[in-house]
Structures are given as structure tokens and as C-alpha cells.
Structure 1
């Protein structure tokens, strides 16, 4: 029997003008291959949430970001002994040129409407249930 584990992850809703950044998992990824997601990853022991987010965003996209605020937190089980806690933050890029890691195959700056067509359904459900689209609307203007 495996020991119950809790994994803490951080994700970023990176907004630049009227677009947000989404990235596509590589086709050979173990978890949800080929799906679109927000940038982010796991917290390393001893890191602050904000530092983990800055590190993960840089590792996955090559972007340096200014972390703005926590948008929401959610949790779910990936199996009976593994729980994931995700903290999703609003962030703004300091530069907008994306350099992807090998974990991802594509990146796009998309409108909110485009994001709602591309993002993986569980991510959309979280964004919807926490009213993120309404919160972002005044922030996503030219």
C-alpha cells in the first residue's frame, strides 16, 4: 500500500494586453498529452509559492513574470493516495518572447474566447467556477 502524498503546484494566468499565454503539453507527456494548459508546475521543498511560480514559468516558457495576486486555489485526487493542490496566480510578463521547454510542443498568446475553446476541460471548469473570466475582462484590454 502506498503512502498518501500531497503535491503542491502553482499555475499562472499570464496576461499581456488582451491576450493570455497557454501552452500545449508534448504528445509524449505522461499526463494529458497534447492538451492545452496554463504555465506552471510543482513547488520544490523550501520555496515560496511566488518563487516557485517564477521558476516554473521561466523553465517552461522562458518568460520572467511579475506575480500579481492569487486568483484561486483548488484540489483534486489523481488516485486514491495522491492529492494535488493548485494555486493559480495572475502574472504579467516582463518580456513576451516565449522559449518552450521540451515538456511542451506549442505556446500561444490567445484571447479569452480562444482560450475557452482550447484549454483542457478541467482547467476551464476551475476558471469558470472561480469567476476568473469576469475578473480578467477589465484587465484584458488594449
Structure 2
């Protein structure tokens, strides 16, 4: 069997005024429960990146993106998994954001990049480097 990397669309949602939206991963999350993270989801066959981001943001945060901008790409190698992460900045209306997938997340919060909660998901700091460099 040949294993191939998966493609993930990762999104750092922001309000346009400097705050970013993070979600705390629930006890049922696939990995790192209790860690704060931005959103992400696998690219489905036949989808554009923007379609995947729109679908995933709407599923996870129950509101549609206002603006989507490509930030960069990361090669994520973890024990047992390999992802090509395509990273986006996504502007959201803070009034519309809420938990859309309570089995994955148990809390949402808007944070200044210099005042983040802890613990952070292990993959969040290198993703935020792309966001803050824009």
C-alpha cells in the first residue's frame, strides 16, 4: 500500500481589527484535546481551496467568510500522518461566529495575537507566523 499526504485547508479567522478567533478542542477532538487552535479541514475531491475554506468555516463557526486570502503552505509531518497544509486568512463577522461543531470544540474566543490562551495546539505557532507576517 502506498501512502500519500493529505491536503488540509487551514484558516486563521480574524475580525479585521487585529483579533483572531481560536477554538478550544473538546475531549472528543481527534488530537490535542484542551488545546486552542485555529480551524482546518480536509480538501475534498473536486473542491477549490476557497470552496473548502468556505465549507469548513461555515461548519465549524456557523458563519460564512467575508474575505479569504492565501497566506502560504506548510508541510506538516507528525507521527502517523503527513499533511500539506494550505493556510488562509479569513475575515469573519465576530457577531456571527459560534460553535458549529460542539463535538470538536467546547469554547471560542477572540484574542489579540500577543495575548493568546494556553495551551496552544502544537501546529498553531508556525501557522500564526504566516498570519502575522502578512
Per the shorter chain, which TM-score range?
A: 0.7 to 0.9
Higher helix share: 1
User: RMSD between aligned alpha carbons?
Assistant: 2.0
Tell me, in whole angstroms, the C-alpha distance in 1 between the residues paired with 2:128 and 2:86.
12
Tell me, in whole angstroms, the C-alpha distance in 2 between the residues paired with 1:107 and 1:29.
14
Task: Provide the TM-score with structure 1 as the length reference.
Answer: 0.80
Gaps of 5+ in 1: 136-142
Q: How far off is 1:118 after superposition? A: 5.0
Show the counterpart of 1:140: none
Gaps of 5+ in 2: none
Q: How far off is 1:73 after superposition? A: 0.5
Show the counterpart of 1:72: 72
Tell me, in whole angstroms, the C-alpha distance in 2 between the residues paired with 1:74 and 1:6.
12
- Is the aligned partner of 1:87 residue 2:78? no
Bigger Rg over Cα:
1
Count of residue pairs the alignment pairs up: 131
The C-alpha deviation readout for 1:90-133, integer Å capped at 9, x for no partner, is: 111146322211211111011111237553243203433x4x32
